Amino acid sequence: MQYVLGSPLERGKSDVITNLEDTAGTIKAGHIVSLKEDGTAKEFASSDGNIYGVAGYHEQKNRLAVIRCGLMTPVVIDASAQPAAGKKVYLTAAGLATDAADSNTATGAIFKSGEVQGIDAVSKETAKAALIDFPGGL
């Protein structure tokens, strides 16, 4: 089964979705997003120290949906990640989700699945992914 990246499977009172400007228009769904000082979105890098949410899809030219809180949300994971339900989610320096704590950035999320196949609904590219819960944000 394929899961659409950056699209929460459980909807309702748990999810908070906002929309930010992505000036370059290059942030991919299922990737972690940081908030720049000017209020625009950028892909997370550990040097930022600022975790904003999970990228959804571009809604208009250079406007990106960002999931701030959500349940069962598919995200792209690091090639070496071994996710399992209940494990804490960390972010690598490149901003990919992993279960490895060593020198990675801690988040407020937990894995809700093992490895799954994620698919970008627009480009149809597939990626190694996992489902995460982050009801209080990342």
Tens of pLDDT, residue by residue over 108-122, are: 999 999 999 999 998
**126 confidence band (pLDDT: 50, 70, 90):** very high
Q: Please give the model's pTM, rounded to 2 decimal places.
A: 0.92
Q: What is the mean pLDDT of residues 89-99?
A: 94
**Alpha-carbon gap, residue 87 to 131, rounded angstroms:** 11
**Alpha-carbon gap, residue 98 to 128, rounded angstroms:** 11
**132 confidence band (pLDDT: 50, 70, 90):** very high
Q: Give the tokens for residue 38.
A: 């000017």
Q: Would you kindly state where each structural domain of the chain is located, as residue ranges?
A: 2-134
**69 confidence band (pLDDT: 50, 70, 90):** very high
Tens-digit pLDDT profile for residues 2-56: 999 999 998 877 788 999 999 888 899 999 999 988 889 999 987 766 899 999 9
CB atoms within 10 A of CB 38: 7
Would the CA dihedral through 79, 83, 87, 88 be positive or negative?
positive
What per-residue confidence (pLDDT) applies to 131? Answer: 98
What per-residue confidence (pLDDT) applies to 99? Answer: 97
**Alpha-carbon gap, residue 125 to 118, rounded angstroms:** 8
DSSP secondary structure code for residue 38 in this structure: T
Q: Give the tokens for residue 135.
A: 């009801």
Question: Which among 55, 52, 50, 74 has a CA at the least distance from the CA of 66?
Answer: 55
**60 confidence band (pLDDT: 50, 70, 90):** confident
What CA–CA distances, in Å, run from 45 to 93, 105, 117?
6, 10, 23
Q: Give the tokens for residue 95.
A: 């901003």
CATH class in words for 2-134: mainly beta
Q: Rounded to a whole number, what is the largest CA-CA distance in the chain? A: 39
